[in-house]
Amino acid sequence: MYSRALRPCLITFQVHGRHFSSTKQNNRRVTVIGAAGGIGQPLSLLLKQSDAITNLNLYDIVKHTPGVACDISHMNFPAKVTGFTGPDQLKDALRDAEVVIIPAGVPRKPGMTRDDLFNTNASVVRDVALAAAEVCPKALVGIITNPVNSCVPIYCEVMKKAGKLDPNRIFGISTLDLVRASAFIGQAKGLNPKTVNCPVVGGHSGVTIVPLISQCQPAVSFPQPELEKLTKRIQEAGTEVVQAKAGAGSATLSMAFAGARFAFALIRALNGESNVIECAYVMSDVQGTKYFASPLLIGRNGIEKNLGLGKLSDYEQQLVKAAIPELKANVATGEKFVK
């Protein structure tokens, strides 16, 4: 059921070209929260290269954030880049934003789980939501901050308390799982990974990451032992990067790429492009977990339709079943933090 739907997820990044987006409109205001960090800087650089963005606001708590904005502003692309720093400037950075991307927070280090990041990063997401509820409640928001499975519920609960919740506008960016699935499947099958599209559902950590390889385009198949090994690699790819960097950080560059891809999808939807479809972790009743990642049809006002999971293989049904308890616990942790 996804043959037509998921193809629009594929985008081409033209690093030396004039733009990343095919849209002819150039009137979008985008804010990056955490713009001076390991994800935020390359993400901001990618966003600057889009002709579809008029204003790009870069916010972080560190003092050199205006310097990052100044540096990126020297690139010969149209978007006006402005830097903001410190809690006192958070609302100004967010004011009237149409798209907000949040990679803010501390990164994972060797031995850390996403849950270990919770106390620090939960406060970051709460504070951004409080400010956004006041100055840009209608923005389409993409949350990268880990643990995504808990941080998206935090953002939604804060907006609910403020009387500004529209769950169709709030997304947990799980795009990196799709990017990794495409890369790994392409490598395994000798395919150009840009032509591979595999939906990934569930959540954005460990066993909650469920690649639907049976729905991959082009169609691929693996012997069961190889399928299980590939699935585990997709689920644990973040740890693979953390270990490979040997204490120097987590996935930043690939996450920036994935975050930019999702931001451009939101902008294309805002500009009226039809059939914009991406997987994301959102408030959902698909599996009775309150939040769940699945393919979504996105329009001017956010989610137009949750496309669900489609037909699952027996193995994928087992993976979804294993993900449910973890997801429910993650969601409960996020909601408890706000209460």
What residue type is 235 in one-letter code?
A: Q
Quote the CA–CA distance of 308 and 326 in Å, as a whole number: 19
Quote the CA–CA distance of 335 and 25 in Å, as a whole number: 38
Instruction: Return the half-sphere exposure (C-beta side, CA atoms, 13 A cut-off) of residue 222.
Output: 21
The answer to whether the beta carbons of residues 101 and 263 sit under 8 Å apart is yes
> How many other C-beta atoms are found inside a 10 Å radius of the C-beta of residue 274?
10
Quote the CA–CA distance of 4 and 7 in Å, as a whole number: 6
Q: Among the residues of the chain, which ranges form H helices?
A: 40-48, 65-73, 90-94, 118-135, 148-161, 175-189, 224-235, 237-244, 253-270, 314-338
Quote the CA–CA distance of 206 and 172 in Å, as a whole number: 15
Active site residues: 204
Quote the CA–CA distance of 215 and 112 in Å, as a whole number: 32
What residue type is 297 in one-letter code?
A: L
Show Cβ contacts of residue 27 under 8 Å, excluding neighbours closer than 6 positions.
54
Quote the CA–CA distance of 317 and 112 in Å, as a whole number: 29
The answer to whether the beta carbons of residues 60 and 102 sit under 8 Å apart is no
The answer to whether the beta carbons of residues 82 and 60 sit under 8 Å apart is no
